[in-house]
Structure formats: C-alpha cells, structure tokens
C-alpha cells in the first residue's frame, strides 16, 4: 500500500471521527436542554436559570472567557405570566377518553386563573350559525358566569368562511359576557404572555369538544413582575485583530411549562441554535479565530426579544465601540437544513449574502441559500437597529413542530449531512468575514 493511500485513509478516518463527534455533540446538547430537568427553559421552576447555568458551564469547559468582570451573566427583568400549578379541563361524559392538556387544548398565554366546577359548552359551528332557528337560540343563551351550579361557555367552532356565518358569529360574540371562551384551532401554537387578562381563551383541536359537553375547568396562573433572567455571554479572544468582533448568537429560552403536566421543550426552537453556537465555540476554542468571537445565549426571546433588547442597550459595556463589530450571526431553528438555509436580512447586506452563497456553491454544503429582508422576529433585530450588520439564519427542511408539545428531542434527530453542511457553511462564512 502506497504511503499516499495510507495517508488518504487516515485522513478519511480522522475527518469521519471529527464530524461524527460534531453532530453527536450537538444532538447531546439538544437532548440535555430538552430534558424535563430544564422545564422547557421557561419561568416555572427556574427552567431558564438552570439552562443558563448549563450553558455557562459548557463555556467554561470549552475555555470560552466570561464577557463581564462578574462572569458570564447579564441579568435583566421582565413581567411574565406563568402556569406553575394545575391546568386541567375534564369532561364528565363517561366512556370518552380523558382530555389531554397540551395535545387536545392549550390556554392562551395571557389567561388568568379560572375555576369552573361545571359548565356546558355551546358550539357556534357552521351548522348552528347556518340555521336561523339555532342561531337565534344560541344568541339568546344565558352566558352569566357563576362558580356554583352550571354555566354556559361558548365554543367557537367555525372557519368563518361564509359572510352570513361571520356576521352571525359577530352578533353572538357581541352579546357574550363569559370570561372563558373555547376556540377550535387546527394547530395549537403556544407563546409567552407578558400580561394577564380577565378573558381566557382555550384553544382546542377540532373534534375534541362538542356542543353539550359538560366540562370542569381548573387553571392556575401566576403573574410575576420583574422576573430576573440571564443572558449568557462569553468570548474567545482573536489571534490577530482582537479589537474586531464577530458575534455568534442564539436564544436559549423557550415557553416553559403550561401547568404541572405539560412542558414545551423547544428542540428546534432553539436548543438547536444553542447546540450550533456551542459547537462553533468548541471549534474556535481549538482553532483560534483572527477576530474576537463573542458568543451570546439570549434569554427572553419568546417573550418578545427581551433579552437581546436589554443586551444591545448595554452593548458598550462589552464592546466600547460597536462599529468594531464586523457581523452578527444569529441562529434560531437550526434543527434541519435538508432544504437549505435562509438568511433574514440577507437582502439588505447583499455583499455578505453573496459571500455566503458563493461559499455554499463552491463547497456544496447545503442544497440552497436564500435571502429575505429584515424582520423583527429574532435576536439579530436590535443589533440592526443600531447599525450593526447581522443575519438571522434558520435552516429549512421537513421538520414542522413549532411552539408545541411535539417540538421534542425525540422528534428532532439531527441529520449528519445537513448539520455538518450548516456548521461548515457558517464556520467558513465567519472565517471569511474575519479575512481568513
Ligand atoms: Zn425561536
């Protein structure tokens, strides 16, 4: 066997091992951050703080330096509505399966506590609204609220695809005085509430509840003022131009718990982005970058980009001259890639976008790169508002679970080819921006 062949063989083994470790490492991070211990990285049981601590420990292990004299954490406060106790709806009809929180229904994230011993659901369906007789009967329903005895609750179960139906539903809603409303929805998509309202909407999958169903409702909500949470910030000093900066960012928070039974783990959103960020930190810890690379794991993104808003407000504490920031690579939804990558704000910074697409074409990392205009839908946004150039990257593919109980690490298994492609594309792009 010729020495070159031996060398080629050794090289193949070597790169296979490295790449194997790479995707395994990322999957490991996702599995960890999505485990029950982290409570969906929200505000119940301090899931966010536990996740921030995990990330800071990972930084430490990778020799990423703390960005502040006090350490890795940048603390800020936010008002947030939480569901730490019971969130339960039961149906009294015998013989039907129990209603499952998270799968069959979710409560709107701004709900206040509700306790209803017994209520009858009255459906505003196409069928009911379509007939003058049943519509009139529904309109005249007694909607008065009481916690003792039985009361009536409206179940909106129509697509409003017809003008008459829409008009009639509006008339019913105008007269509706109940503080709880059921509404059917094909896809249950949860969020983080920043306020608490008297009216509570219960979103349910079609077919779960029917008109005439007797239900009991128990919702424990707790509004927390000025909850303290933490961004996690670290850096690897540049070898040649340490006063120039590349930012690699992603949010680690997710929606947390909806009661004791339901966790929203947020595997794709955005344990996957944190996995990619830590993997890039891992890479740069071993391959010293030319510029200083700053890694930020943001909190409070799902509550409305709160973490990145506060971070950018105090940016000068970390970077006294923000014009030294060459670029921000923000990653949110990094779990797929089989259908390529999107650069949000790519249509604004065309030179950098062309660089990205050229690197991809030359190396065949991902099937396609795409660009969009700017949008206030992830943590890159407040950087762009002070003139710091930034892309928000998300990967595209068949994975569709989003803000629900299905976005789990069991469902999100990274595909090696797509993951490696995305990693290598982002890494090569960052190196090119640093003039490497
Ligand atoms: Zn997200």
Domains, in order of start, for the chain: 19-79+225-433 (3.40.630.10), 87-219 (3.50.30)
- pLDDT, tens digit (0-9, with 9 covering 90-100), for 31-48: 999 999 999 999 999 999
- The burial of 215, by beta-carbon neighbours within 10 Å (0-12 exposed, 13-18 middle, 19 or more buried), is given as buried
Q: State in Å: Cα 404 to ligand 1 middle.
A: 12
- pLDDT, tens digit (0-9, with 9 covering 90-100), for 267-293: 999 999 999 999 999 999 999 999 999
Q: State in Å: Cα 48 to ligand 1 middle.
A: 14
Q: Tell me the HSE value of 126 on the side-chain side, using a 13 A CA sphere.
A: 8
The pLDDT of residue 147: 61
Q: State in Å: Cα 367 to ligand 1 middle.
A: 23
Dihedral (C-alpha) 81, 272, 228, 234: value to the nearest 10 degrees? -170
Q: State in Å: Cα 31 to ligand 1 middle.
A: 17
d(CA 37, CA 35): 5
d(CA 312, CA 383): 6
Q: State in Å: Cα 133 to ligand 1 middle.
A: 47
- pLDDT, tens digit (0-9, with 9 covering 90-100), for 394-431: 999 999 999 999 999 999 999 999 999 999 999 999 99
Q: State in Å: Cα 332 to ligand 1 middle.
A: 5
The pLDDT of residue 2: 45
Q: State in Å: Cα 269 to ligand 1 middle.
A: 5
Q: What tokens does 97 get?
A: 């399966």
The pTM of the full predicted model, rounded to 2 decimals, is 0.93
Q: State in Å: Cα 375 to ligand 1 middle.
A: 13
* Nearest by Cα to 335 from 423, 264, 239: 423
Q: Name 46's Cβ contacts closer than 8 Å, sequence gap at least 6.
A: 39
Q: State in Å: Cα 83 to ligand 1 middle.
A: 20
* Residue segments in the chain with a per-residue pLDDT below the cut of 70: 1-20, 147-148
Q: State in Å: Cα 58 to ligand 1 middle.
A: 21
The pLDDT of residue 217: 97
């Amino acid at each position: 066997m010729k020495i070159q062949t031996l060398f080629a063989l050794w090289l193949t083994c070597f790169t296979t091992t490295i790449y194997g470790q790479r995707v395994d490492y990322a999957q490991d991070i996702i599995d960890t951050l999505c485990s029950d211990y982290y409570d969906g990285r929200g505000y119940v049981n301090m899931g966010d703080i536990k996740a921030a601590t995990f990330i800071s420990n990972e930084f430490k292990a990778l020799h990423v330096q703390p960005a502040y004299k006090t350490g890795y954490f940048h603390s800020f406060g936010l008002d947030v509505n939480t569901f730490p106790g019971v969130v339960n709806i039961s149906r009294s009809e015998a013989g039907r399966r129990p209603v499952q929180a998270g799968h069959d229904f979710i409560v709107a994230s701004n709900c206040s506590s509700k306790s209803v011993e017994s209520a009858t659901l009255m459906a505003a369906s196409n069928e009911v609204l379509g007939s003058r007789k049943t519509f009139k009967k529904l309109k005249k329903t007694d909607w008065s609220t009481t916690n003792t005895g039985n009361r009536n609750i409206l179940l909106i179960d129509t697509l409003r695809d017809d003008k008459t139906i829409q008009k009639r539903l509006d008339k019913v809603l105008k007269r509706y005085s109940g503080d709880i409303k059921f509404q059917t929805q094909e896809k249950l998509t949860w969020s983080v509430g920043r306020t608490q309202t008297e009216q509570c909407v219960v979103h349910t999958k079609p077919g779960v509840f029917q008109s005439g169903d007797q239900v009991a409702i128990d919702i424990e909500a707790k509004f927390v003022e000025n909850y303290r949470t933490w961004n996690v910030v670290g850096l690897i000093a540049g070898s040649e131009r340490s006063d120039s900066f590349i930012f690699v960012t992603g949010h680690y928070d997710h929606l947390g718990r909806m009661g004791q039974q339901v966790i929203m783990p947020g595997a794709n959103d955005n344990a996957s982005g944190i996995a990619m960020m830590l993997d890039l930190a891992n890479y740069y810890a071993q391959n010293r970058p030319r510029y200083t690379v700053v890694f930020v794991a943001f909190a409070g993104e799902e509550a409305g980009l709160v973490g990145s808003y506060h971070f950018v407000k105090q940016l000068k504490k970390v970077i006294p001259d923000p014009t030294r920031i060459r670029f921000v690579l923000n990653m949110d939804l990094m779990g797929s890639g089989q259908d390529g990558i999107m650069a949000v704000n790519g249509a604004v910074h065309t030179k950098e976008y062309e660089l990205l697409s050229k690197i991809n074409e030359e190396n065949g990392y991902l099937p396609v790169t795409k660009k969009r205009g700017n949008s206030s839908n992830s943590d890159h946004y407040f950087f762009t508002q002070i003139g710091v150039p930034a892309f928000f990257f998300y990967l595209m593919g068949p994975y569709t679970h989003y803000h629900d109980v299905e976005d789990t690490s069991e469902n999100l298994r990274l595909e090696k080819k797509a993951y490696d492609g995305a990693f290598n594309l982002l890494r090569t792009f960052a190196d090119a921006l640093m003039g490497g």
